[in-house]
Amino acid sequence: MMTSNAHRPPLIGALLTLSLIVFGAPWSPSQVASAQSQQLFLSVTDGSGEPVTDLRTDELIVQWDDVDCETLDLELIHWPVRVTVFVDNGDGGRAALQDMREGLKLFVDAIPAEVEVALATLAGRAQFVTQLTSDREELVRGIDLIVPDSAGARFRDALVEEAGRLIDDDERQYFPVIVMVASDGPEGSSSQQGAYDEMLDRMTAASATVHTLMFTSGSPAQGQQVQIGMNLRNRTSGTYEALAISTGFRSMLPELGQNIARKHHLVSNQYRVTYAPPEGTTSVTAVRVSTSREAVTLTPTMDGNIQ
């Protein structure tokens, strides 16, 4: 059903490009005509950056190539961020470990109290010292339990295992954030190229964001973790930061914690919009979301994963 343009209040709009539609939706443009309804996610903030939680359906317009869709439902959802931190306590991270621990305590302080965080070490194989918890005292105790190990860190293996856990969580209603506190020292992983490629796809499918803070020695014989971290930055819209001195963990980890806190504030207060495409549509190049509500900012996504 079309929505009339007559007497419509001025609209404030945000655009989703075709690339988001193609990669974010389970259908292709040739299937659009038979689609009964589609969904997108929408963050709405006021002038101070605070989430707007009282938007009404009649204030919202979804358009495909400037043609109005019928808005079927506007549901406020509260999906939190969930954080898993992997720490390189192996041979390469030994010199930086104390700075990593101090930075992690400040990182935990910067994360909102309701957000669950898990901590794992990388030496030998990934081992959790603290399972997902919002208990800050337990997390600090876990940080203090991270001790050096002579084994090589399994950077790639940890990511492969974590991606498997995420994709197996069929009831996932949260946005995974993975933080790799690492070094470019000896890599002890055994997973093969196929498992690595599958990991990248699974991270994308799970709407995960991966941030890597890498203490780098600059040795040309080491550092495949550097390339993995950069690939994950590009695939998950995360970050990759190289640290020439380990004390950088003390400043960059709390800064990252503040960024994750901002993300959590937005993704845990957004709308899931269900709408019907225009009748007879066989292709689409852009989706626009507009509102008649003044002085607000719209951030539409296909999966709700705001960066």
Residues 6 or more apart whose CB falls under 8 angstroms from that of 165 comprise: none
Q: Which residue has the tokens 């957004």?
A: 270
Same domain, 169 and 47: no
Determine the pLDDT at residue 222.
Answer: 59
Same domain, 57 and 199: no
Q: Residue 179: which CATH number?
A: 3.40.50.410
CA–CA separation, 200 and 178 (whole Å): 13
CA–CA separation, 181 and 148 (whole Å): 14
Same domain, 177 and 126: yes
What is the residue range of 296's domain?
A: 12-76+270-301
Same domain, 229 and 157: yes
Nearest to 298 by CA among 62, 82, 73: 62
Residues 6 or more apart whose CB falls under 8 angstroms from that of 280 comprise: 33
Nearest to 139 by CA among 215, 81, 210, 85: 85
Q: Is residue 1 in a domain?
A: no
Region of residue 172 (left: phi > 0; alpha: psi -120 to 50; beta: else): beta
Q: Letter for the amino acid at 47?
A: G
Q: Is residue 306 in a domain?
A: no
Same domain, 62 and 97: no
Q: Is residue 42 in a domain?
A: yes
Helix, strand, or coil here: 66? Answer: coil
Helix, strand, or coil here: 186? Answer: coil
Domain count of the fold of the chain: 2
Q: Output the six-digit token pair for 60.
A: 């919202």
Compute CA distances 208 → 46, 89, 133, 239, 303, whole Å.
26, 24, 19, 12, 11
Same domain, 59 and 180: no
User: Please, what is the end-to-end C-alpha distance for the chain in angstroms?
Assistant: 33
Same domain, 125 and 59: no
The mean pLDDT values, 10 residues at a time, for the chain of 307 residues are 43 53 38 67 94 94 90 95 97 92 98 98 93 97 95 94 96 96 90 96 96 83 82 97 96 98 96 90 82 91 90
Same domain, 71 and 106: no
Same domain, 185 and 127: yes
Determine the pLDDT at residue 36.
Answer: 76
CA–CA separation, 267 and 119 (whole Å): 22
Same domain, 184 and 252: yes
Q: Output the six-digit token pair for 28.
A: 């292709």
CA–CA separation, 88 and 104 (whole Å): 12
Q: Is residue 257 in a domain?
A: yes
Q: Is residue 235 in a domain?
A: yes
Helix, strand, or coil here: 98? Answer: helix
CA–CA separation, 120 and 246 (whole Å): 19
Same domain, 156 and 226: yes
Q: Is residue 3 in a domain?
A: no
Tell me if 266 sits within 8 A of 301, measured CB to CB. no
Same domain, 45 and 105: no
Q: Is residue 307 in a domain?
A: no
Q: Is residue 63 in a domain?
A: yes
Tell me if 205 sits within 8 A of 305, measured CB to CB. no
